Amino acid sequence: MSPPQILVLALFLVPVWSNKMFRCYNETELLGAAERKLRSHYPQPAEPSAAAARGAELPCPLQLYQQPASTELSARSVSPWTYVLKTLKDHFPSSYMEASCLCSGCILVQKDGSAFQSFDYNSLTVKQSRVFLRRQRCSDGSGYYLTPVTVEVAVGCTCVRANSSP
Ligand SMILES: *[C@@H]1O[C@H](CO)[C@@H](O)[C@H](O)[C@H]1NC(C)=O
């Protein structure tokens, strides 16, 4: 093929390709289309149990260590966390649960069984990249197309050494 022929072919194919990639959906079709696309291409993690969401305003919960160990990792951790509900406008799913650390330090237990918060350590979130679908207006204004976007989601907290101060 000569270069002009390739150019003509490319001009013909690009609109076909982009229509396929960015199919327009009307408002009624959009949710179903997003759910199908998420299921087939971007399997979603299980949401944490409601029991693990204990409200982000709680202080560092030293009392957890006066009770038998919970089955929830978020409560057994020496850097315990809770989950807070986040919403994302124009995204599917439109909300998700994000981990939020309850202590700035970490909880240490002494030999006599008493617990205290040590600031020689820090509670830090562990992040995971998660794919959401974002709706965008089609150029002709007739509906929306869906594009994958990556969002960093905190999924838990871990205990790390504090940065050494000078
Ligand atoms: C949306 O599209 C579907 C399928 O093309 C059609 O059956 C339905 O009537 C449309 N709904 C609206 C509100 O335009």
Burial (0-12, 13-18, 19+ Cβ within 10 Å), 74:
buried
Is 28 a pocket residue for ligand 1 (Cβ < 6 Å)? yes
In contact, 79 and 159? CB cutoff 8 Å: yes
Set out the domains of the chain in order of their start, with CATH numbers: 25-161 (2.10.90.10)
Pairing relationship of beta strands 106-109 and 121-137 according to DSSP bridges? unpaired
> In the predicted model, what is the mean pLDDT of residues 101-113?
92
Q: Whose CA is nearest to atom 3 of ligand 1?
A: 29
Q: What percent of the chain has pLDDT over 90?
A: 57
CA of residue 12 to ligand 1 center, whole Å: 28
Residue 135 Cα to chain centre, angstroms: 18
**Measured from the CB, is residue 142 less than 6 Å from ligand 1?**
no
Give me the mean pLDDT over the 4-14 stretch: 53
Q: What does the pLDDT read at residue 60?
A: 92
**Residues contacting 19, CB < 8 A, separation 6+:** none
CB of residue 32 inside a 6 A radius of ligand 1: no
All residues at 6 or more sequence positions from 139 whose CB lies less than 8 Å from its CB, including other chains: none
pTM passes above 0.85: no
Higher pLDDT, residue 74 or 104: 104
Q: CB-based burial of residue 143 (10 Å sphere; 0-12 exposed, 13-18 middle, 19+ buried)?
A: middle
Would you state the pLDDT for residue 63? 83
Q: Which tens digits make up the pLDDT trace of 85-99?
A: 999 999 999 999 999
